[in-house]
Chains A and B, each alone.
Chain A
Amino acid sequence: MANLSRFLVRRLATFIPTLIGVTFMTFLIATVVPGNPAKLWAGGEKASPEVVEQIIREYRLDRPLWEQYFFFMYKLLTNTMISPVTSNYVWDMIMERLPVTIQLTLLAFIFIIILGIPLGIISALKRDTIIDAVIRIMALVGLSVPIFWLAYLLIFFFFTKYRIITLAGTPEPPYSITGIPLIDSIIMLDFGTLVDVLKRYTIPAFTLAYPSIGFVARLVRNSFLDAMSGDYVEFMDARGLPPSWKYRHILRNSFIPVITVLGLIFGALLTGAPITETIFGLPGIGKFLLDSINNYDYLGLMGGVLFVGIIYLVVNLIVDITYAIIDPRVRY
């Protein structure tokens, strides 16, 4: 595995240029293209020139682009950047929203795993039967249905008709271990808070997970079928191996692509889900990015993009390493 460390070093070396590229692009698009945001940040059309001046000075908007960019990035990374639109420390804002997104991600991920994978396996085992057809059609529906439509449907059923879920607030226990109420309440066996958290996050998580459930089910199905039709399966039969051992081999083989996709899905979930968060009123990262764009909060946007970039890079790296660990054919 000495190769692995070299591989890691090479990958980490590409982190920085990638993050710079991504944030610089965002910076250009956000600040240069639409024009000077100073007046907007100062209050709009009523803004007095002195206030606008002050903003220009404070945020170095009169300096060359390179200087502006590095100034922003430096302040972002040291968490000293205060957004002129929200008056908050940008990085703090992102971190505050992280628990919401994490809870959504965890629950959605659980849905994907407990629904997507078994459905995919059933679909594969019952290939070409009605069950298989139903599952595949539902998967297609899941990928095609607009999220907001599904969200409204679920809200109508679970909130309007049967007051099972809640649409407001973010349940938080008075104590904090990891900062994530879902996990904390389980650790502390605080079932009251746990129930509140589930009531709040379950349906949004399901909405978020739905298209991915379909996707993963299909992936698992195809992967499983692929693995099942591998010649080594026949050889395993020919060797007289018991069926459970056989399925162990098949599962392990079929899971390689699935695990990497799951990793990527986890990464995508972690970067937020703007529509779901908006409809269910959950202040997560996705909503933050959307709000930053709508409010012309370029600094918040840059911070958000930086965060998303880091998540993606790290998740991709982990997925690649995991792949290398699982599949001996892929080694660096």
Chain B
Amino acid sequence: MECDPIVEVKDLRVYFYTYAGVVKAIDGVSFKICRGETYCLVGETGCGKSVTSRAITRLIYPPGRIVSGEIYYYPEPGKRVNIMQLSESELRRLRGEEISYIFQDPSAALDPLYVLGYQVGETMLAHKRVKSVKEGMRRAVEVLRTVLMPDPEKRASSYPHELSGGMKQRGVIGISLSNNPKLLIADEPTTALDVTIQAQLMDLLLDLKRERGLTLLLITHNLGLVAEYCDRVAVMYAGNIVEEAPVEELFEKPLHPYTQALIRAVPNPTRRIEKLEHIPGTVPNLVKPPPGCRFHPRCPKAFDRCRVEKPPLKEYSDHHKAACWLYEE
């Protein structure tokens, strides 16, 4: 597959300086997102996937800091923007106009004191798509229509608490896409919603992606969604990417023991099982992570080298990378 990268992340480190110590949330992460694809970032809670997605536009708040690494954005093939070197105002222009976000909890994303249409219009005004908030509010109705919001006029003048979860998320999607970004980062967009809405929204997202030629970075812990909607998948554990592969490859031939355990842990609804599979142990302390491979304390296949040296993410077969000593002769 030809990859025309739209975002490239090289050896990114993001640390959080807390009272408890320095939390090495992301410790050397590198990946590329290809234009037009749906790239998924999967992992347990706390593995660093959200932080990674935020880091792309430097949306990291104190006590967190991007310690080192490179982040590049390619608005068009051949044009490269070094995100680490952007000024504040350039960054602000980037956000929303080039790269947009959808967050997990739509209730939290919207300001409860303003009507939905205002927040849409406001975003458009910020990026100079409209000349005034009033105009923006009028255009908001159209925006909401495109995200298939039922009765968009009414919804545009409704307050967030008057809308259901699904409607709110549609609104959020509308806000994010109102300025026609090229990359949409969706951090667990459907986790807070119920399953039927989930499907609706994901389909909406995909439709919009297709219509507008968006690239989608999807962060989730739901392997079902991954299987359904993703092109390529990266599995993160304890602040590192441990495996990256096209979606079918990942499910058919997971290399990393963690990935294998994850997949095994998903119960098959059609089969009767005695006991739910789980991965023994807990996610490591990121202030003092275990030496060597961070997964080794829980890994059934761990051996000496794992405890001492951290395995790099290496490509072991076609576009299939893994960070595990098992595959190193």
Contact = CB atoms under 8 A, between A and B. Distances in A.
A253 B113 contact: yes
A200 B100 CA distance: 59
A45 interface: no
A245 B95 contact: no
A237 B103 CA distance: 12
A237 B95 contact: yes
A230 B103 CA distance: 13
Interface in B157-198: 159, 161, 172, 175-176
Given A249-B111, A329-B112, A240 B127 contact: yes
B123 A239 contact: yes
A231 interface: yes
Contacts of A245: 122, 126
Nearest to A252: B113
A240 B110 CA distance: 14
B94 A240 contact: yes
Given A231-B108, A240-B126, A241-B126, A327 B113 contact: yes
A231 B109 contact: yes
Interface string A101-139: 000000000000000000000000000000000000000
B112 A235 contact: no
Contact of B96 (A239, A256, A328): A239
Interface extent on B, as a size class?
20 to 34
Interface in A232-250: 232, 234-242, 245, 249
Contact of A230 (B57, B108, B123, B126): B108
A240 B127 CA distance: 8
A252 B119 CA distance: 14
Given A234-B103, A329-B161, A239 B176 contact: yes
B59 A234 contact: yes
Nearest to B88: A243
Interface in B89-121: 91-97, 100-101, 103, 105, 108-114
A233 to B, nearest CB: 9
Contacts of A249: 111, 113-114
Contacts of A239: 95-96, 100-101, 123, 126, 175-176
A238 B57 contact: yes
Interface in A264-314: none
B100 A242 contact: no
Interface in B278-327: none
A275 to B, nearest CB: 39
Interface in A210-242: 230-232, 234-242
Contacts of A236: 111
A135 to B, nearest CB: 20
A256 B172 CA distance: 24
B161 A232 contact: no
A230 to B, nearest CB: 7
A241 B176 CA distance: 12
A236 B57 CA distance: 13
A132 to B, nearest CB: 14
B240 to A, nearest CB: 24
B13 to A, nearest CB: 21
A327 B160 CA distance: 12
A240 B112 contact: no
Given A232-B111, A235-B109, A253-B112, A242 B103 contact: no
A329 B112 CA distance: 7
B126 A242 contact: yes
Contacts of B110: 232, 235
B103 A235 contact: yes
A38 to B, nearest CB: 59
Given A240-B93, A329-B161, A231 B103 contact: yes
A28 B325 CA distance: 87
Contacts of A328: 112-113, 159, 161
Nearest to B101: A238
| 4 nearest A-B pairs in the assembled complex, by CB-CB distance | A231-B108, A240-B96, A240-B95, A238-B101
Interface of B: 57, 59, 61, 91-97, 100-101, 103, 105, 108-114, 122-123, 126-127, 159, 161, 172, 175-176
18 contacts: A230-B108, A232-B108, A232-B111, A234-B59, A235-B101, A235-B109, A238-B59, A239-B96, A239-B126, A240-B96, A240-B123, A241-B92, A241-B122, A241-B126, A242-B92, A249-B113, A252-B113, A327-B113
Given A242-B126, A327-B113, 14 more contacts: A230-B108, A231-B108, A234-B61, A237-B95, A239-B95, A239-B175, A240-B91, A240-B126, A241-B126, A245-B122, A256-B113, A326-B113, A327-B112, A329-B112
